[in-house]
Structure 1
Amino acid sequence: MRRLNLDQLHTFSEVVDAGSFSAAAARLDLSQPAVSLQVRQLEQRLSVRLIERVGKRLKPTSAGLTLLDHARRIDAVVEDAMHALSSHASGDVGEVAIGTGATACIHLLPPILRAMRKRHPMLDIRVSTGNTDDVVAAVSENRLDIGLVTLPTAGRSLHVTPVLCDAFVAIAPARDAQWVQEITPHWLAAAPMVAFEPGSSTRLLIDEWFLQAGLRVRPVMALGSIEAIKEMVAAGLGYSIVPRLSVNAAHHRRGLRVCALTPALTRTLAIVVRQDKPLTPGLRKVMSALEALGDAA
């Protein structure tokens, strides 16, 4: 049997409830012939008579009464489905997967995620961390919806939107009185360095800063966690160069001295998303929140 036509089914219910084809047509904003045609087509599809006319009155047949009971339940289910899908259309429901580095995850995303959860509690935002290459690969392969990464990055299938410029600073133990306010590559050359792990975008930028001054540094430690790096420096095991956003808050500066770099070193954080990625309302909301990072800086 061919599937039921929901419009025909709804029209049949309206005819029975209204008591006439003309009254149902007025309710549905259709012509009376159009209403009559839909009921006739439904009867032909089911091979049964659904409505009978006795004098001037219409009433459902036995088959019509059976169908009417089902039609009302079908109407209720369809209404529930439309209501559920309206939340997806507005972006209040859905799932968005973000990939980013550990520093941005710790120091940038929490207030954004907190605000998004408050405004859209049914929007499931999932976050994973990795280096720029890993995040970009996951976005390119559609395993992640969006990435927030350190430039430079490339990919012919990607749309890249710079959102935030962040300066680097040198950090040293607070008790080390020898440190000055502006730190040069040559000033740091002989000091023990606690660095980011090799291959990360941040480490590459820092190595290039030293190379521009004709220097190569050999770190005493290479760690993947910004918080571990700060703890090692605070314990007096060396200095490090970190993004300023990771030491902005007062409780992050405890035990650390923060100094500017000369010449300045900056990095740019950017949103990456596939050019052909369907932008669901939920994904658009997340992208707008990330794009606003530059305005808040």
Structure 2
Amino acid sequence: MQRLNLTHLHSFAMVIRHGSFSAAAERLNLTQPAVSLHIRQLEERLNLRLIERVAKRIKPTSAGSTLLTHIGRIDAVVEDALLDLSSHAQGVAGQVAIGTGATACIHLLPPILQQLRRQFPALDVRVSTGNTDGILRAVEENRLDLALVTLPASGRSLSITPLLDDEFVAIFSAEHHAVPDVITPQALIELPLVVFEAGSSTRLLIDEWYLHAGLRIKPVMELGSIEAIKEMVGAGLGYSIVPRMSVAGEHHRRGLRVMPLQPPLRRTLGIVLRQDKPLGKALRQVLEALQTLKG
């Protein structure tokens, strides 16, 4: 009996994931006819139709949906086998992909990655940033090995471990003369606010801080970059509420005044992995390095 071709299975999964043969071909660095041939050969091997078009959209058939569930398990078994083989090699090598938010990427990860590079030159750690939902989806789909995100986070196939707490602070230009003595939502609501863009997990926490006081914010600026926010505040264009880690040790250089919030606002950062993620040497070393952020 002819065995299933793993390449054909991967092509099928990519076509369903991206909704078209051309998009799958682009991701796989193949031609569209090559991907079409993979699917045709797979259907002929199984003697089943796996893909159908509904309202000009590609969808898996019932048989195709069943196959997709098996492909996930097949990929996990193959990865387990490769990791077992890698354990016979000396040293720590390979690639680990991390997803996180921009603040953690800038203010937490650089010293961790620097130390890993010094200890394990053959270890390739790649970092991408994005919103929490997108990062979690990438972990679920095994496009990222782990994530460092603001909690709460959820996913049926995910293992989520709290790592560290970080409080929020209000920042003002050092030349701002009307800074309230106590930084409450009521004291801030009439001042111009420069804040993270809507939809981010950090923005949701800030919105909730005001909503608990019965207030709804009307920002003068909504930005996606913590560095841009600090520059705008330093230029005297408004105040902001940011994680303390983003201004630790640098507020004097930026010309910023940092004040605690009342009531306090905190967030928890956590590590997210697939529950069935095999912990090879490379991934284990990255996780151990991240654990040094505790406390």
TM norm. shorter chain > 0.5: yes
Contact 2:170/2:241 (<8 A) preserved: yes
Partners of 1:133 and 1:219 in 2: CA distance? 23
Structure 1 residues 248 and 281, CA, compared in 2 at 3 Å: closer, same or farther? same
Contact 1:91/1:280 (<8 A) preserved: no
Alignment match, 1:224: 224
TM-fit CA distance, 1:254: 2.2
What pairs up with 1:120-139 in 2 under 5 angstroms? 120-139=120-139
Alignment match, 2:171: 171
TM-fit CA distance, 1:180: 3.9
Alignment match, 2:194: 194
- Identity in percent: 66
Alignment match, 1:82: none
Partners of 2:218 and 2:264 in 1: CA distance? 21
2:277 aligned partner, one-letter code? K
Alignment match, 2:182: 182
SS of residue in 2 equivalent to 1:183: coil
1:110 aligned partner, one-letter code? P
What pairs up with 1:245-260 in 2 under 5 angstroms? 245-250=245-250, 253-260=253-260
1:148 aligns with 2:153: no
Alignment match, 1:50: none
TM-fit CA distance, 1:90: 5.4
TM-fit CA distance, 1:152: 1.1
1:11-43 C-alpha deviation (Å, 9 max, x unpaired):
xxxxxxxxxxxxxxxxxxxxxxxxxxxxxxxxx
Partners of 2:162 and 2:222 in 1: CA distance? 28
TM-fit CA distance, 1:191: 0.5
TM-fit CA distance, 1:92: 1.3
SS of residue in 1 equivalent to 2:204: helix
Structure 1 residues 90 and 188, CA, compared in 2 at 3 Å: closer, same or farther? farther
TM-fit CA distance, 1:278: 1.0
Contact 1:90/1:281 (<8 A) preserved: no
1:292 aligns with 2:286: no
1:161 aligns with 2:161: yes
Alignment match, 2:109: 109
1:149-205 C-alpha deviation (Å, 9 max, x unpaired):
001110010000100100000001110122145300000000010010100000000
SS of residue in 2 equivalent to 1:208: helix
1:99 aligns with 2:138: no
Alignment match, 2:244: 244
Contact 1:171/1:239 (<8 A) preserved: yes
Partners of 1:278 and 1:164 in 2: CA distance? 24
Contact 2:251/2:258 (<8 A) preserved: no
Structure 1 residues 170 and 253, CA, compared in 2 at 3 Å: closer, same or farther? farther
SS of residue in 2 equivalent to 1:278: coil
Higher mean alpha-carbon deviation, 146-155 vs 88-97, is at 88-97
1:252-276 C-alpha deviation (Å, 9 max, x unpaired):
6521110000000000000000000
**TM-score normalized with structure 1 length:** 0.68
1:268 aligned partner, one-letter code? T
When the two chains are superposed, the root-mean-square deviation of aligned CA atoms in Å is: 1.6
TM-fit CA distance, 1:288: 1.2
Runs of 4+ aligned structure 1 residues displaced above 3 Å come to 85-91
Partners of 1:208 and 1:160 in 2: CA distance? 23
Contact 2:87/2:281 (<8 A) preserved: no
Which structure 2 segments of 5+ residues have no match?
A: 1-84
TM-fit CA distance, 1:210: 0.2
